[in-house]
Every structure is written in structure tokens, then in C-alpha cells.
């Protein structure tokens, strides 16, 4: 059956609940004077007419073993191949090529949560040594080769990028699962990707607690085995300095401490494998409209060219910069803008363990001061939290940001202004970058040395990215009229995902079918990309993102599929039906509220509500925990039996439920309202 995402029209109320974008803020002259990109003609060079040839400029930021022959192969549209015929290695581009000039420069600063532990500063030389040794281990001890998949379930650590770079040195496809996800979530990704090796870490610190992470590997392997996927080896890194570690025992013959096995490979070197530009580099699973997360497959040459260029022109990274992106490497932001983009540019990238506001509200500003961070990248959720607990804290620290980023969710103008005036001290340029796991890199953002900032608006399409707002009939919504619609991208770009791992049909159905002009066409102009967000374009071409139009809830910038959450609740024996809705939250943007009805013969109880919460944590992870579990007598339903989530959302948010008389069971709405 066609799995077309169900589009809910963006209501006037949804638009009204959003702010209007505000006035322009120009960047400072000091910023512009040093910016990597100040040439306004870039927008002409990357016009729609010049796609795809314009992207040659981006590919030229990389070192190729063999230059490509064809910039874009559309013969299997909309599965595109970029830079066809080229041979390249991502590990070489992020490590080896910097040795000549930057051997002794710090590549990675790892900041442990415990302030009594010292920061680890890994130079490019050391990174090269460690990547080579680990690649030798992966090749020899695990027998891995190009095209194999390996699942990583690692917390924030220097070993995580080392692992990624060692794998891509061999052409092995990595699939990193967010460390906060449960063993069960990890298992689903192991099975889908067909990984025979799992790489993890014994433990990590978060909010003052040492978390046993190894235990999740045991759960993941057990579950994957049940689903028919054999995991032959589990490699366990020991957390930085190995002093504090998990108690979960190792399984003989299956689990190995990396540090023990690695001794045999000290001093070993592995030549990077010359990979075709279009070979997959990694999979990143993300939530969509069904319960099953999809593995977004990113290619090597196209992806790397796109994240390198956008890191240079949007993040304004110069080799002498100290760059800190606070995202987790388990998300796409971390892949593109902690690991691949910054390292391809020979920057120093900061990786930190823990959370922004522990042990106190000054932690981020202290790290920035101590490491000399001058480019800072975070999400609205973190900005809101830091503003709430320590509004005056940044002023106490002596750091100097030239540039700041916000990503992941819409940012309210008041929050933007605090970020600008208090965190950036009125000096830093801000970019609000809108993009997705699928898109590999930024879609809309200002170029900070060229365009003025506008609080509440992401900015225009990036050079070479041509957004268009379409209505449900596929007609263009003209800009400047304040009307919302479905934001699509008219053209392919090198950073976009190649397909959904093992499911080309789903890829086409979900992202292209809706506005496809001709399903047999090999011309990219016939395949606009549906992003799944609603947006408004102002007459200056700046885009304001309103949020998702499909069944995805964005909690603290983390994507959770409503179907995934509901399937997790349905694991509880007593539950008959489940429906999840987003509720506004001061810090997180939104939180999920879980409505459940019980099978006959069961009585509502706190016990059951607790079981549901536990199921959400076990099946997905703590980020999936509901604000509240409502055990309702029945779900409000249409006469055709469809659950009316809109009504539940109104009850949760305390807004008007509207007309309920057309429902099959309007009395249920009254009963649920009384529970609020």
C-alpha cells in the first residue's frame, strides 16, 4: 500500500501561534572583513540554470585520487550519483591531507564531564596514528572490507570520530546510533543494516552519573539475534582514561576491549581505500511516517563536498578556528558539522561529554573560555535552557565568539535576541540553519558574510539550493503573501541522501511521489524533493519554517515518529490503542503526550501509566518519555474510525477543541477534558 505521508493542511491557528520574523541585523564589519565568503556573485553562479555544474566548485575543495568524469548522473532519478567516475577517501580528506601543514595542530578537543579529568587534545598527527591503528584492527581482527556495514552505539568521545574515520578509511559503511537510544533501538538498526560488528563504549558520564552503556550492547545483540541477525563481534572502547567504567561483564569470544586488542596494531598503517565517489559513506537512521526508522544513505564524494563547502562558507571555519558544535555525533548535525565538515577543513573541533547545564549554568561558557572557542553551534532547546537557568552567566566568562549557529527547530525571536546580545555579546554573526538528516547539509541559511540576519527566519536557500513553496495541488505559493505551504527543493544537490537503505520504493514514495511531474523522467527538474516541513517565504526570499506536516514530533530538536512512539506504548500488554500528540514546552519546544485506551477487562491505574513510560524508554530511549500518559475510556474517532489526534492535541495544549459533533463519540471528548 502506498505509504504517502498524510498531509495536514497548516491551519491559520498554527501560523498565528508563530511569531512574525523581525528586522534585519547586519553582520559586523569585523566579521565580514575576515569571512570566507563575501562574494555576492555566488548566488548567480549557483542559480537554478547552473545546477548541477556549479557544484564543481565544492568538489574542488577536496583531494581526489581520480577526478570525476560526470558531475551528476540522473539515469536512475531520483536516486542520483554525484561526481561519477571519481575516486576519493573521506578519511584521507579529513586526516592525512592535513599532516603537511597542520600535523601538530589540535584536531579534536575532548572535554570530559568530570572537571577533575583533563581535556584530551588530539593533534592531527595523533588522529592519523589512532585512525590507522584502529583501521588495521578492523581489517585484520574483524575482517572488515569495503561495503560492509558496522553499527556504532557510542557516546560522545574522541574515539567516536576515530572509529568513523577508521571505518571510512576501509570503505566500510558506518551507522552510528545515538548513545541515548535503547538497546532495542540499536538492535533494529543492526538488523536493518545487516551489521555483524557492533562498536560501543563501556560507560559515560551524563548529568553527574556514570551510565553503564555496555549493558545496552548485550540487549542489542540479544534482540538482533532474535530477529535473525548474527553479531559476531562487539568491540568495547573504554571511556577516556579507563578509570571509570561499567560493571557489565564481557561475553567470552564475542566482546573485546579495544584497548587490549589494539596493542597488536600499534604502529600499523593502512592505506586509505580509493572509493568511488558514489559509494555509501554512512547510514543515519531517522524517524518518518511509519514505525520503522529509515536508514538515510549518504554517499562519499557528494556528501563530503557539500559539508566541507557549507562548513567553510556558512560556519565560516578557518583552519585557525576553534569550533564547538554542541550536538551529539549520533545525529546528522554531529556527523556533518562536528566530524566531517570541520575536519575536512583542518579545524579544531570540540567534543564534550555530558549536558550543557551540569554541573552549573556556566559550563558552556567556561569551556568556550578555556579552549578559546570562537565558533559556537547549538540548538534552540539548549539556548532556552541556558537562558532560563543562567541569564547573566555568559558575561562572567572571557570568551570571544565571532560566529554562532542555531539548528534543529524554530527559534523564537526573544530567544534569538538573548543568544545575540548576551551569548554573542552583540559581536557574533548568527546563522539559523534549516536542514534535515536526509539533506546531509544546510538547505536554508544566510551566508553570514553576505546576508543580514533576521530573527525568527532561517534565511534564503543556500547557493545552489532552490526552495519553492507548493500548495496541496502543487501550485507555487507566491512569496511575500504570508501564506504557508509545503516547502520543497526544486533541484538535487551533492549532500542529499542517495536512497533509503534497502528500500528505494519508500525513498521515492515518501520524498518525491507527491509532486513528481513524470514518474518515468530521468530529468531532475521533474522530481522536486518534499521536505515534510511547512514554511512561509517572505518577499526577500527568506524562509520561515513552521514545523512538520507529517507524523513527526520534534522534541528538543530530536525527531521522533508518532508511529514509533505509539508502537512502543502498544508493547504494554494492557494497551489497546495509543495516540501521541505534541504539547508545547518552554524549553524543549514540544514534548509528547501519550493517550492510551485499555483492552477490555483492565482498569486504569498508575501502574499501567508507569509501564507505558517504561516501554517508551526501553523501546526508544529516555528522550521519548511522555510528559503525561492519559488513560482514556476511548479515543475520539471519526465515523470511519480514525483517531482524531487534533482534538487530543487541543486538550493537551489547553486550546479550543473546535466542533466535535461530527465525531462518532463526542461524549468521549468531554470525558477526556475532565481529566485535564
What residue ranges bind ligand WTA (CB under 6 A)?
A: 286, 331-333, 407-410, 432-437, 458, 531-533, 545, 547-548, 554, 559
Closest of 428, 490, 432 to residue 460, by C-alpha: 432
Which triple of cell numbers denotes residue 13?
491557528
Compute the least distance from the CB of residue 629 to ligand WTA, in Å: 25
Measured from the CB atom, the residue of 347 and 487 that comes closer to ligand WTA is 487
The phi and psi torsions of 139 (rounded to 5 degrees) equal -75, -50
Distance (Å, rounded) from C-alpha 64 to C-alpha 116? 43
Distance (Å, rounded) from C-alpha 296 to C-alpha 131? 25
Compute the least distance from the CB of residue 2 to ligand WTA, in Å: 22
Compute the least distance from the CB of residue 434 to ligand WTA, in Å: 4
Compute the least distance from the CB of residue 137 to ligand WTA, in Å: 31
Which triple of cell numbers denotes residue 583?
504539547
Distance (Å, rounded) from C-alpha 88 to C-alpha 274? 5
Render the burial of 447-467: b for 16+ CB within 10 Å, e for the rest. Answer: bbbbbebbbbbbbbbbbbbbb
Measured from the CB atom, the residue of 229 and 336 that comes closer to ligand WTA is 336
Distance (Å, rounded) from C-alpha 447 to C-alpha 607? 52
Measured from the CB atom, the residue of 310 and 436 that comes closer to ligand WTA is 436
Which triple of cell numbers denotes residue 68?
570525476
- In the bound state, the residue with its beta carbon closest to ligand WTA is 437
Compute the least distance from the CB of residue 295 to ligand WTA, in Å: 13
The phi and psi torsions of 537 (rounded to 5 degrees) equal -110, 130
Compute the least distance from the CB of residue 428 to ligand WTA, in Å: 17
Distance (Å, rounded) from C-alpha 55 to C-alpha 495? 10
Compute the least distance from the CB of residue 458 to ligand WTA, in Å: 5
Measured from the CB atom, the residue of 560 and 631 that comes closer to ligand WTA is 560
Pairing of strands 589-598, 628-631: parallel
Q: Residue 510 region, left (φ>0) first, then alpha (ψ -120 to 50), else beta? A: alpha
Q: Are 195 and 231 in contact (CB under 8 A)?
A: yes
Give 379-425 as a DSSP string.
-HHHHHHHHHH-TTGGGGS----SEEEEESS---HHHHHHIIIIIST
Compute the least distance from the CB of residue 489 to ligand WTA, in Å: 12
How many residues does the structure list for the chain? Answer: 676
Compute the least distance from the CB of residue 380 to ligand WTA, in Å: 8
Compute the least distance from the CB of residue 107 to ligand WTA, in Å: 23
Q: Are 259 and 238 in contact (CB under 8 A)?
A: yes
Measured from the CB atom, the residue of 192 and 409 that comes closer to ligand WTA is 409
Compute the least distance from the CB of residue 436 to ligand WTA, in Å: 4
Compute the least distance from the CB of residue 549 to ligand WTA, in Å: 9
Compute the least distance from the CB of residue 465 to ligand WTA, in Å: 14
What is each CA distance from 448 to 20, 30, 311, 431, in whole angstroms? 21, 12, 12, 7
Measured from the CB atom, the residue of 286 and 311 that comes closer to ligand WTA is 286
Measured from the CB atom, the residue of 10 and 158 that comes closer to ligand WTA is 10
Which triple of cell numbers denotes residue 61?
575543495
Compute the least distance from the CB of residue 435 to ligand WTA, in Å: 5
Measured from the CB atom, the residue of 35 and 379 that comes closer to ligand WTA is 379
Which triple of cell numbers denotes residue 400?
570571544
Measured from the CB atom, the residue of 284 and 647 that comes closer to ligand WTA is 284
- Helices (H), ranges, 469-548: 504-511
Distance (Å, rounded) from C-alpha 640 to C-alpha 659? 17
Measured from the CB atom, the residue of 149 and 548 that comes closer to ligand WTA is 548
Non-local CB neighbours of 186 within 8 Å, separated by 6+ positions? 151, 153, 177, 198, 216, 217, 219, 220
State the CB neighbour count (10 A cutoff) for residue 493: 29
Measured from the CB atom, the residue of 91 and 437 that comes closer to ligand WTA is 437
Distance (Å, rounded) from C-alpha 538 to C-alpha 182? 42
Any idea which residue has 596493542 for its cell? Answer: 263
Q: How far is CA 437 from the centre of its chain?
A: 5
Measured from the CB atom, the residue of 134 and 340 that comes closer to ligand WTA is 340
What is each CA distance from 465 to 42, 98, 307, 345, in whole angstroms? 12, 30, 14, 22
Measured from the CB atom, the residue of 108 and 332 that comes closer to ligand WTA is 332
Compute the least distance from the CB of residue 496 to ligand WTA, in Å: 13
Compute the least distance from the CB of residue 420 to ligand WTA, in Å: 15
What is each CA distance from 19 to 213, 554, 649, in whole angstroms? 41, 18, 20
Measured from the CB atom, the residue of 39 and 540 that comes closer to ligand WTA is 540
Give the per-residue SS3 of 14-63.
HHHCCCCCCCCECCCHHHHHHCCCCCCCHHHHCCHHHCCHHHHHHHCCCC
Measured from the CB atom, the residue of 327 and 615 that comes closer to ligand WTA is 327
Measured from the CB atom, the residue of 96 and 432 that comes closer to ligand WTA is 432
State the CB neighbour count (10 A cutoff) for residue 541: 15
Amino acid at each position: 500500500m502506498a505509504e504517502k505521508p498524510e498531509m495536514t493542511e497548516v491551519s491559520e491557528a498554527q501560523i498565528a501561534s508563530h511569531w512574525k520574523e523581525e528586522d534585519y541585523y547586519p553582520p559586523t564589519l569585523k566579521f565580514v572583513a575576515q569571512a570566507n565568503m563575501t562574494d555576492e556573485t555566488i548566488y548567480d553562479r549557483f542559480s537554478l540554470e547552473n545546477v548541477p555544474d556549479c557544484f564543481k566548485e565544492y568538489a574542488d575543495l577536496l583531494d581526489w585520487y581520480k577526478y570525476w568524469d560526470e558531475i551528476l548522473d540522473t539515469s536512475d532519478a531520483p536516486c542520483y550519483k554525484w561526481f561519477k567516475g571519481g575516486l576519493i577517501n573521506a578519511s584521507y580528506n579529513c586526516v592525512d591531507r592535513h599532516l603537511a601543514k597542520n600535523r601538530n595542530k589540535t584536531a579534536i578537543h575532548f572535554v570530559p564531564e568530570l572537571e577533575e579529568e583533563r581535556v584530551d587534545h588530539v593533534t592531527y598527527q595523533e588522529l592519523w596514528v589512532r585512525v590507522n591503528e584502529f583501521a588495521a584492527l578492523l581489517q585484520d581482527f574483524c575482517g572488515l572490507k569495503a561495503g560492509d556495514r558496522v553499527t556504532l552505539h557510542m557516546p560522545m568521545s574522541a574515539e567516536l570520530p576515530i572509529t568513523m574515520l577508521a571505518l571510512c578509511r576501509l570503505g566500510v559503511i558506518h551507522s552510528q546510533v545515538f548513545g541515548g537510544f535503547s538497546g532495542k533501538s540499536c538492535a533494529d538498526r543492526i538488523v536493518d543494516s545487516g551489521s555483524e560488528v557492533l562498536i560501543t563504549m563501556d560507560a559515560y558520564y551524563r548529568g553527574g552519573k556514570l551510565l553503564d552503556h555496555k549493558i545496552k550492547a548485550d540487549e542489542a545483540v540479544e534482540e538482533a539475534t532474535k530477529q535473525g541477525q548474527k553479531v559476531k563481534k562487539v568491540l568495547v572502547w573504554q571511556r577516556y582514561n579507563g578509570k571509570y567504567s561499567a560493571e557489565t561483564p564481557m561475553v567470552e569470544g564475542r566482546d573485546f576491549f579495544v584497548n587490549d586488542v589494539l596493542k597488536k596494531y600499534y604502529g600499523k598503517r593502512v592505506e586509505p581505500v580509493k572509493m568511488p565517489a558514489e559509494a555509501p559513506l554512512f547510514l543515519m537512521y531517522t524517524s518518518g511516517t511509519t514505525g520503522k526508522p529509515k536508514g538515510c544513505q549518504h554517499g562519499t564524494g557528494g556528501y563530503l563536498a557539500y559539508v566541507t563547502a557549507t562548513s567553510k562558507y556558512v560556519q565560516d571555519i578557518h583552519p585557525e578556528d576553534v569550533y564547538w558544535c554542541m550536538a551529539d555525533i549520533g545525529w546528522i548535525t554531529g556527523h556533518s558539522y562536528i566530524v566531517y565538515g570541520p575536519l575536512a577543513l583542518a579545524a579544531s573541533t570540540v567534543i564534550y561529554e555530558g549536558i550543557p547545564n551540569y554541573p552549573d549554568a556556566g559550563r558552556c561558557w567556561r569551556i568556550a573560555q578555556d579552549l578559546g572557542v570562537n565558533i559556537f553551534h547549538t540548538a534552540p532547546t539548549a539556548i532556552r535552557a541556558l537562558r532560563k537557568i543562567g541569564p547573566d552567566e555568559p558575561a562572567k566568562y572571557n570568551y570571544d565568539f565571532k560566529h554562532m549557529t542555531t539548528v534543529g527547530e524554530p527559534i523564537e525571536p526573544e530567544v534569538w535576541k538573548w543568544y545575540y546580545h548576551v551569548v554573542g555579546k552583540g559581536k557574533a554573526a548568527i546563522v539559523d540553519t534549516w536542514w534535515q538528516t536526509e539533506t546531509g547539509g544546510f538547505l536554508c541559511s544566510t551566508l553570514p558574510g553576505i546576508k543580514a540576519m533576521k530573527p525568527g527566519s532561517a534565511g534564503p536557500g543556500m547557493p545552489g539550493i532552490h526552495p519553492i513553496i507548493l500548495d496541496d495541488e502543487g501550485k507555487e505559493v507566491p512569496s511575500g503573501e504570508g501564506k504557508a505551504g509545503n516547502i520543497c527543493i526544486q533541484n538535487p544537490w551533492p549532500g542529499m541522501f542517495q536512497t533509503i537503505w534497502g528500500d528505494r520504493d519508500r525513498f521515492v514514495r515518501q520524498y518525491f511521489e507527491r509532486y513528481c511531474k513524470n514518474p518515468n523522467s530521468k530529468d531532475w527538474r521533474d522530481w522536486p524533493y518534499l521536505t515534510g516541513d511547512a514554511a512561509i517565504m517572505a518577499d526577500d526570499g527568506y524562509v520561515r519554517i513552521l514545523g512538520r506536516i507529517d507524523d513527526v514530533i520534534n522534541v528538543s530538536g530530536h525527531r521522533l515518529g508518532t508511529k514509533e512512539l505509539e508502537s512502543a506504548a502498544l508493547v504494554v500488554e494492557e494497551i489497546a490503542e495509543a495516540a501521541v500528540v505534541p504539547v508545547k514546552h518552554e524549553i524543549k519546544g514540544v514534548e509528547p503526550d501519550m493517550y492510551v485506551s485499555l483492552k477490555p477487562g483492565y482498569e486504569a491505574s498508575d501502574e499501567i501509566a508507569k509501564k507505558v513510560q517504561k516501554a517508551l524508554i526501553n523501546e526508544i530511549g529516555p528522550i521519548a518519555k511522555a510528559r503525561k500518559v492519559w488513560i482514556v475510556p476511548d479515543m475520539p474517532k471519526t465515523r470511519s474510525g480514525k483517531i482524531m489526534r487534533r482534538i487530543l492535541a487541543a486538550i493537551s495544549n489547553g486550546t479550543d477543541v473546535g466542533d466535535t459533533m461530527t465525531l462518532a463519540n463526542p461524549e468521549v471528548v468531554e470525558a477526556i477534558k475532565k481529566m485535564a
